[in-house]
Amino acid sequence: ALERTFSIIKPDATRRNITGKIIDRIESSGLRVIASKRVHLTREQAEGFYAVHRERPFFGELVDFMISGPVIVQVLEGENAIAKYREVMGATNPADAEPGTIRKDFAESIEANSVHGSDGGDTAPNEIKYFFEDGEIVG
Ligand code: CMP
């Protein structure tokens, strides 16, 4: 089915000026970028976005990292976009990611792993709404 998923290109990627290389991987996979903006998250925005991880030992460092520089938040659309983007990203830990995935080829570490993507059909719509009004999404 035609789906939408949410993506963040993380601060390690904006810092290294490789956002175009990452967007090329996204578009080459057949996914379409139907909304996009570059933002510097506030601590409150980052904590709210990752609230599900609040009790995890890495939460503080994750939030510090996500506010360490600008990010690009995007809505991606395509057939089975949620699972497709997870394939394109590769495993959370780049050491475990398959060759040819964004994280294998670009990520610096499990924390500075270049991209975030929604993990399922329950989270994708909420993550999209967290950053985008309906009128900002142009499919
Ligand atoms: P992301 O898909 O953005 O969701 C939560 C993030 O926490 C994850 O990608 C990783 O970048 C980050 N993270 C940092 N340490 C860990 C860890 N030990 N296990 C899982 N995720 C981690």
User: What are 61-74's pLDDT values in tens digits?
Assistant: 999 999 999 999 99
**What pLDDT does 85 receive?**
99
44: left (phi over 0), alpha (psi -120 to 50) or beta: alpha
ipTM of the complex: 0.96
Residue nearest to atom 13 of ligand 1 (CA): 111
Q: Which residues line ligand 1 (CB under 6 A)?
A: 53, 58, 62, 92, 110-111, 113, 116
Q: How confident is residue 41, by pLDDT bands cut at 50, 70 and 90?
A: very high
Active-site residue list: 116
| Tokens representing residue 81 in the block | 């976009």
Q: How confident is residue 132, by pLDDT bands cut at 50, 70 and 90?
A: very high
**What pLDDT does 92 receive?**
98
Compute the average pLDDT of residues 56-85. Answer: 98
Q: Is 103 annotated as a binding residue?
A: yes
Q: Are 90 and 97 in contact (CB under 8 A)?
A: yes
**What pLDDT does 94 receive?**
98
Q: Is residue 54 classed as helix, strand or coil in its secondary structure?
A: coil
Q: For ligand 1, pick from 9, 53, 110 the residue to mutate: most ligand atoms within 8 Å of CB.
A: 110
Name the maximum alpha-carbon separation found in the chain.
39
Q: Tell me the β-bridge partners of 73.
A: 8, 37
How many angstroms does the Cα of residue 110 sit away from the middle of ligand 1?
6
Q: Tell me the β-bridge partners of 4.
A: 77
